[in-house]
Amino acid sequence: MTEQNAKSNSMWGGRFSASPDAIMEEINASIDFDQVLYTQDIAGSIAHAKMLAAQEIISDDDATKIIDGLNTILREISEGEFKFSRALEDIHMNVEARLRELIGDSAGRLHTARSRNDQVALDFRLWVKERLTDMDGALTSLIAAFLDKAEANLETWMPGFTHLQTAQPVTFAHHSMAYVEMFARDRSRVRDCINRLDECPLGAAALAGTGFPIDRHMTAKTLGFENGPTRNSLDSVSDRDFVLEFMSVMSICGTHLSRLAEEIVIWSTPQFNFVKLSDKFSTGSSIMPQKRNPDAAELVRAKVGRMNGALVTLLTVMKGLPLAYSKDMQEDKEACFDAANSIALCLSAMQGMISDLKVNKEAMAKAAGSGYSTATDLADWLVRELNMPFRDAHHVTGATVALAEKKSVGLEALTLEDLQSIEPRITAEIFDYLSVEKSVQSRMSFGGTAPKQVEAQIKYWRKTQ
């Protein structure tokens, strides 16, 4: 680092006579966290240099030197040889200062028709787009893990719950497919988000555009933006909707992961004993040798807190900011980086947990039949066969459950006389409807829990990747 480049003043200090106070540097510098944007920053600069040369704003010779220098810097940073300087504030000025060291004065031409305002908007968009693409892939793998589980458990009876009280029998396949729906909606939100952010802000310059004859369509194309350049230069540098949307997508997906994690925690207790997590995703207790703790699931359940925190952080930063750029917006990154690392980790951990999950079919089936889970089937039979109004049938069934409870047996273990003591028109045919299997098989309505219905949904999602 030369003397001249060691201070940020060398980059913008023409009208400053003193260096920044140490505390100013501390609050101002973003290089400690925005250095992760180096690949995007360098890609943006290379595209910009190529365009400047194509438009004859800089010479081909300068562009070649700039691009070679930038490629050297890319290698230096990737290999950990680059010395980042806080005095140079951020990734943009660190790269430019090093470029000057490497190629001399030509480096100063790179920033023609550009500002750090459009530069950072570009870098961050490119970074978010990559993370969203990763998230799309991770969600697809998680969905595939659930589809496999569902396929293997079409006839694994389990209790369906409302209020976490046994409600009606369902199958583990059906329950798994509920998560497929949730994660597929997340994936669709990810894709929407990519589509909306797929416009290039480079060339908006500081806020008003530029007098140089730049070609924004060219840079947008070089950088892989499907929807061309952004259409308003003020908005281009002041917009952080793409970060907010990404964070909302993460929070919603994190919420789904957290609900699933909670179910895994409950299901893996000895009391439920519905599933067993593999050793790979369990931990032991340092004091109680019998324990298997679902730590990974608990941490997934907790990490959504970071994602929600990140979203609220940036919503709060952005509210009330006048157009166009304000330095407040530098506070968009750390929270987003943290949330993005968290969601990537949670999605991978959950995919591992689901793939390795051992389902205890016997325990699930036993629980499916307890808690008078087929009471609704009895009521439905009374409506269908005896033409009873549903409210009356509900009443008769309630009395039947009370009798079973008194005799400490399940509904199917009551005698025909027991049943007829409550409603004399009941026939022996009713026993066909009180088993868990009959109950599940009968729920053939579209989206219902009958194996045929669930199989159709699995087919649908296998095709819709």
Judged by CB under 6 A, the residue of 5, 58, 65, 90 near ligand ARG is 90
- Sequence-separated (6 or more) residues with CB below 8 Å from residue 294: 264, 265, 268, 277, 281, 282
Given a contact cutoff of 8 angstroms between Cβ atoms, the answer to whether 52 and 45 are in contact is: no
When binding is defined by CB under 6 A, the residue of 176, 282, 330, 435 that contacts ligand ARG is 330
Catalytic residue among 17, 163, 408, 445: 163
Interaction with ligand ARG in 254-293: which residues (CB under 6 A)?
none
**Smaller CB separation from ligand ARG, 122 or 260:** 122
Q: Is 8 in the site for ligand ARG (CB under 6 A)?
A: no
CA atoms within 13 A on the CB side of 325: 18
CB of 8 to ligand ARG, least distance (A): 10
| Catalytic residue flag (residue 48) | no
Q: What Å distances lie between residue 197 and 32, 92, 201, 227, 465, CA to CA?
A: 26, 21, 10, 9, 22
Nearer to ligand ARG, 329 or 340 (CB): 329
The 8-class DSSP code of residue 200 comes to B
Pair 300, 347: CB distance under 8 Å = no
Cβ–Cβ < 8 Å for 359, 277: no
Residue 394 among the catalytic residues? no
330 or 351: CB nearest ligand ARG:
330
Of 59, 78, 278, 285, which residue is the catalytic one? 285
Relative to beta strand 358-359, strand 275-276 is antiparallel
168: DSSP letter: E
Min dist. Cβ of residue 41 to ligand ARG (A): 10
253 binds ligand ARG (CB under 6 A): no
Q: Is 186 in the site for ligand ARG (CB under 6 A)?
A: no
Min. distance of Cβ 120 from ligand ARG in angstroms?
A: 4
Letter for the amino acid at 238?
Answer: S
Query: What is the DSSP secondary structure assignment for residue 284, as one 8-state letter?
Result: -
* Residue whose C-alpha is closest to residue 156's, from 358, 445, 337: 358
From first CA to last CA, the distance across the chain in angstroms is 50
The count of chain residues that interact with ligand ARG, using the rule CB under 6 A, is 10
User: Does position 210 bind ligand ARG by CB under 6 A?
Assistant: no
159 beta partners = 169
User: What is the nearest approach in angstroms of ligand ARG to the Cβ of residue 330?
Assistant: 4
Q: Using the rule CB under 6 A, which residue among 48, 100, 116, 174 binds ligand ARG?
A: 116
> Distance between CA 121 and CA 171 in Å, rounded?
48
Identify the residue among 43, 77, 99, 120 touching ligand ARG (CB under 6 A). 120
At 384, list the tokens. Answer: 């269908």
C-alpha R_g of the chain: 31
Contacting residue, 113, 143, 261, 329, with ligand ARG by CB under 6 A: 329
- Comparison of 240 and 303: residue with beta carbon closer to ligand ARG: 240
Nearest to 172 by CA among 94, 263, 241, 109: 263
Whichever of 118 and 263 has its CB closer to ligand ARG, that residue is 118
Around Cβ 75, how many Cβ atoms within 10 Å? 11
Instruction: Rule CB under 6 A: say whether 110 interacts with ligand ARG.
Output: no
Residue 85 interacts with ligand ARG (CB under 6 A): yes or no: no
The residue range among 50-58, 66-74, 114-122, 238-246 that interacts with ligand ARG, by the rule CB under 6 A, is 114-122
Interactions with ligand ARG, residue window 18-37 (CB under 6 A): 30, 34
Contact footprint for ligand ARG (CB under 6 A): 30, 34, 90, 116-117, 120, 325, 327, 329-330
Give catalytic residues, as residue numbers. 163, 285
